[in-house]
Structure 1
Amino acid sequence: MKPPVLFLMGPTASGKTALAMALYDCLPVDLISVDSALVYRGMDIGSAKPSPDEQARYPHALIDIRDPADSYSAADFVADAEREIAASHARGRIPLLVGGTMLYFKALLDGLAAMPAADPAVRAQIEDEAARLGWAHIHARLQAVDPAMAAEIHPNHSQRLSRALEVYLVSGKTMTELRQEQQAERGNPFSERFALTQLAMAPRDRNLLHERIALRFSQMLEQGLEDEVRALYNRGDLHPGLPAIRAVGYRQVWQYLDGECSHEQMRERGIIATRQLAKRQLTWLRGWDGLQWLYTQSEDGKTRQNEEILRQTLNLIGKETI
């Protein structure tokens, strides 16, 4: 019998962490974070990181494992997640991977294709073209050669856009083609090795999600997000190009501290960026194979109680998993 693994995905502010903690209370699960911001130390408020008390009661692997000056790639995550999954199974428990970084989930499921090495000259050419014509133009170029990858990458995500187009220009093959070639060679080892249950949590009405996002960002500011980012800003060894500082919320507050916008503009930019993140997350999930949805609203639009969602989750997981 294959050992079980649980995925709990969803857009930001959908309630994933609270549900994961509720599952921890009633199932023998180990929580493994799948979040590109939670890996960084000193980034607590803006990443909605579980509090120290919550982490003491509900331990999460892969939280606070990097300094914000360091990078953390999808390949790093796959290696760390595989290790934590094996350790959880060795303890006779069930790994529950929870978070909203869909690229990490996808990399774990499908593996990472070997990509050509970076070419500084090609990358500089792309960045020069973007400076003259805009990143929307680069996104359109990628759309023409690799529509599947263009659908994954937001037009404002300059680093991923640049890399995806660079891979094609250097190798003559798109990232999608390279991934498909690798998958044909090695199959899908994750689903072959584990009994996988994939759950996604979201409201039916996107307006409700937008309201929750606006409320949560305002609460983050009240809780001291500006001071948290100021501490990072004052370190002197960090800059806006780092993955940690590009995280939603942190980038906007950093721009405010740099004098690029007013406090109110920063707040609005943070809310808009978070909504855009949620939209990208939902786009990923709508095309996800084998996904079972947990809606936080009933069909008539009423908010469902946490206990009801937990019962549905347990039913979807099934007694054979437990």
Structure 2
Amino acid sequence: MRLRARPLAIALMGPTASGKSAYALELAERLGGEIVSVDSALVYRGLDIGAAKPTREEQARVPHHLMDVRDPCQPYSAAEFAKDARVAIDGILARGRVAILAGGTGLYFRALLDGLADMPDADPALREAITEDANLRGWAALHADLAVVDPEAAARIHATDAQRIQRALEVHRLTGKPISAWQRESTRVRFPAKLLKLVLSPPDRALLHARIERRFDVMLTDGFLDEVHGLRALPELRTHPAPLELPAVRAVGYRQAWEFLDGECDTATFRARAIAATRQLAKRQFTWLRGEVDARWFDPVTQRTPLDDAVAGFTGNRAP
């Protein structure tokens, strides 16, 4: 009796603006697949233009999962993502289709593929106290506090990454144990499919920076600032005591647009800040991607033929 072939999944990882979404859409159509977004901005409703969310027309071409699952005022953890993504992937595989995981959020990929430690739940009162401390002293000071109790986590977390600094301090204060120690104890759950990991990125960092700049200018032309105006008008954001601390508003580009609309800078400075923040995001993503030792790297623009050959060798389905 012939054994049934193990189902297939492809992970398209990479820095922002590297062409992941476009290639994922093409692969899904070619292979009969469905796309699972692995992006911490795309989970939020209303973050469309600035998050480079696939258009309604693109979403109609193939099924997309894990987009628009939270309102901008709602939190969404990596653990929740891993659980929801696993449900989506199981459904895709049960339908006999290829699961295509596309995105650049390393924490989400790690949670899904490597598992997370069974850390304590969030403590709202403690989080509020940490936020109040940050409002008084600044997140850089709290990052310095973290470096004292958990230098490993502090080395990995940027001094402006308020969400991760807050969580690391929260876990330590709740348990007396560094979050880095908890993370080393994560329990890996076997992934339900044979997985091909691909990193999509230009070989020259300057090329990526140019793509980031061009894409941001297109976003501005497409109405990005109008989109942020709409977010600011939402009752739950308009009345929020600290909207800039919400994960959705902290998404790259959105925070800079919010501050611009608050009158903190002129148009040229806003554009420069948003592009610089996007480049910093890409830099952090490269740090994560270099740890993906079992992934193969290709530029979907200049190395298209070898990229397609890698997919064909994995799936047996060659590009036309």
TM over 0.5: yes
Conserved in 2, the CA contact under 8 Å of 1:252 and 1:266?
Answer: yes
Deviations 1:40-78 (A, max 9, x none): 222211011111111111331122222222222212211
- The two structures have a TM-score, normalised by structure 2, of 0.88
Alignment of 1:80-229 (within 5 A): 80-119=84-123, 123=127, 126-127=130-131, 130-131=134-135, 134-183=138-187, 188-191=188-191, 193-229=192-228
74-83 or 174-183: which moved more?
174-183
Q: Is there any run of 5+ residues in structure 2 with no aligned partner, and where?
A: 238-242
The alignment partner of 2:228 has SS state of: helix
Displacement after TM superposition at 1:130 (Å):
4.2
1:78 to 1:120, Cα distance in 2 relative to 1, 3 A: closer
1:125 to 1:91, Cα distance in 2 relative to 1, 3 A: closer
131-140 or 107-116: which moved more?
131-140
1:121 to 1:83, Cα distance in 2 relative to 1, 3 A: closer
Conserved in 2, the CA contact under 8 Å of 1:8 and 1:16?
Answer: yes
Q: Partner residue of 1:47?
A: 51
**Cα distance in 2 between the residues matched to 1:140 and 1:204:** 34
Displacement after TM superposition at 1:139 (Å):
2.5
Displacement after TM superposition at 1:28 (Å):
2.4
**Cα distance in 2 between the residues matched to 1:258 and 1:180:** 42
Deviations 1:131-161 (A, max 9, x none): 5654334334433443443343221011211
1:189 to 1:216, Cα distance in 2 relative to 1, 3 A: same
Task: Work out whether 1:37 is the aligned partner of 2:4.
Answer: no
1:30 to 1:136, Cα distance in 2 relative to 1, 3 A: same
Q: Could you tell me which of 228, 240, 244 is aligned with 2:244? A: 240
Q: Partner residue of 2:22?
A: 18
208-217 or 21-30: which moved more?
21-30
Q: CA RMSD in A?
A: 2.5
Task: Work out whether 1:317 is the aligned partner of 2:308.
Answer: no
**Cα distance in 1 between the residues matched to 2:66 and 2:126:** 34
The alignment partner of 1:182 has SS state of: coil
Deviations 1:196-216 (A, max 9, x none): 221111111111111111111
Deviations 1:267-303 (A, max 9, x none): 111111111111111111111242221235xxxxxx6
Conserved in 2, the CA contact under 8 Å of 1:6 and 1:196?
Answer: yes
Task: Work out whether 1:304 is the aligned partner of 2:297.
Answer: no
1:62 to 1:123, Cα distance in 2 relative to 1, 3 A: closer
Conserved in 1, the CA contact under 8 Å of 2:8 and 2:315?
Answer: no
**Cα distance in 1 between the residues matched to 2:66 and 2:120:** 28
Conserved in 2, the CA contact under 8 Å of 1:10 and 1:201?
Answer: yes
Task: Work out whether 1:74 is the aligned partner of 2:72.
Answer: no
Displacement after TM superposition at 1:180 (Å):
2.1
Displacement after TM superposition at 1:31 (Å):
0.9
Conserved in 2, the CA contact under 8 Å of 1:294 and 1:312?
Answer: no
**Cα distance in 1 between the residues matched to 2:165 and 2:32:** 40
221-230 or 75-84: which moved more?
75-84
**Cα distance in 2 between the residues matched to 1:173 and 1:127:** 20
- The two structures have a TM-score, normalised by structure 1, of 0.87
Aligned residue pairs total 310
Conserved in 2, the CA contact under 8 Å of 1:23 and 1:310?
Answer: no
1:140 to 1:291, Cα distance in 2 relative to 1, 3 A: farther
Conserved in 2, the CA contact under 8 Å of 1:37 and 1:47?
Answer: yes
**Cα distance in 2 between the residues matched to 1:45 and 1:245:** 14
Task: Work out whether 1:276 is the aligned partner of 2:280.
Answer: yes
Conserved in 1, the CA contact under 8 Å of 2:28 and 2:98?
Answer: no
Conserved in 1, the CA contact under 8 Å of 2:37 and 2:65?
Answer: yes
> What one-letter code is carried by the residue in structure 2 that aligns with 1:71?
P
Q: Percent identity?
A: 50
199-208 or 140-149: which moved more?
140-149
Task: Work out whether 1:250 is the aligned partner of 2:254.
Answer: yes
104-113 or 275-284: which moved more?
104-113
Runs of 4+ in 1 over 3 A off after TM superposition: 117-134, 143-148
**Cα distance in 2 between the residues matched to 1:124 and 1:95:** 39
